[in-house]
Amino acid sequence: MAGKRSTTTIKVGLGSCGIAAGARKVWDALEQELNRDGIKADLKITGCIGMCFREPLVEVTDQRGTVTYGDMTPERVQRMLEEHVRDGTPVDEWIVRGEGYDRPDDAFLEKQYRIVLRNCGIIDPENIEEYMGRQGYAALEKALGEYSPEQVIEIITQSGLRGRGGAGFPTGVKWSFARRAPDRGVKYVVCNADEGDPGAFMDRSTLEGDPHTVIEGMLIAGYAIGASDGYIYVRAEYPLAVKRLHIALDQARTRGFVGENILGTDFSFEIKIKEGAGAFVCGEETALIASIEGRRGMPRLRPPFPATCGLWGQPTNINNVETFANVPWIILNGAEAFSALGTEKSKGTKVFALAGKTARGGLVEVPMGITLREVVNDIGGGTISGVPVKAVQMGGPSGGCIPASLMDTRVDYEEVTSTGAIMGSGGMVVLDETTCMVDVAKFFLSFTQRESCGKCTFCRIGTRRMLEILTRISGGKAREKDIDLLGDLAAKIKMASLCGLGQTAPNPVLTTLRYFRDEYEAHVNEKRCPATVCRPLLTVEIDEEKCTGCGACKAVCPVHAIVGEKKQPHRIDHDLCTRCKMCYETCKFDAVSVR
């Protein structure tokens, strides 16, 4: 009985979003049930496969193949084990993916091409054996054994890999600067894992799902530029990523991939983990360096660039998580294989965190050159509400909103930049017609205003003034010239700020002004929010004819602004009402209106 069945493997996706959706409880249930009724299977953990919208995910592999169950719950575990693992009949209605199964969610993976995420959701991230089983550390061995450091840099340059943190600087060129920098005893490689964009989780998922590939990428970079020490600067808000990095580093050290005389060569490299303490500006290179040194993370003037004068004054090469994760693949498969993907100037793939109003939110990796329409509609399945897409926000607070009319824009650094947005690190937030673009601009500006380190006057005070103007506009107190003033301030902040945060902070305002000026004008001139989002401009009313006095709205109102006796028509106290629309959404009789 057991001998035959133990060929079954059950994997549970235990990334942060899986756990948030309840995967840990599913795991516990599996662990408990498996050892009971003689149903045997190997239980394993894995990272995020990217289908966050179907979490918790459980994958079952046996001699018949592999199927994935979505939206799993502890209650579903017993039936799945009995019918699938014991009796050999998969539970058809819960399957979201599998060979021979035609499922609507198949479209989510069809147009993807996985380099960075090649192991995510497949291997156990806490087990180095599984990484090595998929050519892990073979790239390091190849680089050290077959290539000189200069040749490694040449391969990376030829591949066309550009910085995935957002700016898109050619990685090979960056490495060559650090390689050529005068050696004053020590050089550093830093991995920027301070993923601070609200709405982005690519780096977290990569670190949680495949930490070794980032470590291997750093090792190859270290060899290429002649560095002996590395730091991974990771957000403290990502405890699971930090934990898995520690486990991976210990394992890599035990195996001799990290430490002295790696793989018997004279290349030595040590890696330390530094936890960021929460400051968006630390994603900027010089601010990140200041933070590792234990100071306030404030950017400084460049030059000198970190490549010549970085951490503790030494030559330092800083790359983003995704950039490093590409490196082992390029070394193993060659520069041509990588540059065969993509457009003329943007090669390879890009990972996006697809979120917002999308129907299928999750982590996607697509070849460069794919259109936004394909990503949003084909992979993301359009909007969850069915309401048409209004815009796609790319690049977070530094980026902008690309309107639905430009959805044929290709994923390409230059093409995205020409819309006024930026490629960014990979946040892609889908906005539908119920989203107010003035509110979105205000949201991002309140973020950058808060996160401005305060060094440059235009960034510190200019963003505050812009936020005040946007607050006036969304509050129905706009002045006639406010829209022009916004544009004027935006241009000056871009020009007079030292670092990327200030230089890009006005982008969300500029792009919404460019594509959705009519919405601004409705707010300013008509004191009206077309999407009914900006609360001070709204009026919420109860139609006494339709109201049955059921009390549902009264119960849900957070500020107790609804009055009325049971079975009598209710009314709203407008002085107390915060226009949160909860009553509107609760009412079953269509008696509440919002204008």
Partner 1 sequence: MAKKRGSATGTKKPRGKPKSKKDAVDLRRLEPVLKKYREERGAIIPMLQQAQAVYGYLPQSVMERVAEAGGVSPSEVYGVVTFYTQFRLKPVGDYVIRVCHGTACHVNGAERITETIAGQLGIDEGGTTDDSKFTLESVVCLGCCSLAPVMMINEETYGRLTPKKVRTILKSY
For partner 1, how many residues bind (rule: CB under 8 A)?
60
Element (H, E) at 59: strand 58-62
359 binds partner 1 (CB under 8 A): no
182 binds partner 1 (CB under 8 A): no
- Decide if residue 172 touches partner 1 (CB under 8 A): no
Q: Closest separation between CB of residue 236 and partner 1, Å?
A: 6
For partner 1, the closer of residues 216 and 432 by Cβ is: 432
From the list 81, 71, 74, 59, the residue with the least C-alpha distance to 25 is: 74
User: Amino acid identity of 446?
Assistant: S
User: Does residue 198 interact with partner 1 by CB under 8 A?
Assistant: yes
Closest among 441, 355, 447, 443 to 400, alpha carbons compared: 441
HSE value, Cβ hemisphere, 13 Å, CA-based, for 234: 29
**CB-wise, 295 or 479, nearer to partner 1?**
295
Interaction between residue 199 and partner 1 (CB under 8 A): yes
What backbone torsions phi and psi does residue 205 show, to the nearest 5 degrees?
Answer: -65, -40
State the burial class of residue 518 (Cβ atoms within 10 Å of its Cβ: 0-12, 13-18, 19+).
exposed
Minimum separation from the CB atom of position 133 to partner 1 (A)? 28
CA distances from 351 to 117, 164, 202 (A): 8, 9, 7
Contact 523, 474 (CB under 8 A): yes
Q: Which is nearer to partner 1, 75 or 293 (CB)?
A: 293
Does the footprint of partner 1 cover residue 447 (CB under 8 A)? yes
361 to 400: interface string for partner 1, x by CB under 8 A? xx------------------------------x--x----
| Closest to 57 measured CA to CA, from 66, 65, 32, 107 | 66
Which region among 169-177, 437-445, 471-479, 564-572 touches partner 1 (by CB under 8 A)?
437-445
Residue ranges in 261-320 that form contacts with partner 1 under rule CB under 8 A: 274-280, 291-297, 312
Closest approach of Cβ 451 to partner 1, in Å?
A: 8
The binder of partner 1 chosen from 14, 55, 381, 478 (CB under 8 A): 55
DSSP state for residue 53 in the 8-state scheme = G
Least gap, CB of 559 to partner 1 (angstroms): 5
Q: What are the C-alpha distances in Å from 414 to residues 421, 423, 578?
A: 10, 9, 43
* 149-159 and 171-180 helices, crossing angle to 10°: 150
How far apart CA 460 and CA 468 sit, in angstroms, is: 13
| Cβ-based nearer residue to partner 1, 92 or 250 | 250
Please, what is the minimum distance in Å from the beta carbon of residue 584 to partner 1? 12
- Residue ranges that bind partner 1, judged by CB under 8 A: 16-17, 19-21, 52-53, 55, 195-201, 204, 236-239, 274-280, 291-297, 312, 353-357, 361-362, 393, 396, 427, 429, 431, 435, 440, 443-444, 447, 453, 556, 558-559, 576, 578, 580, 582
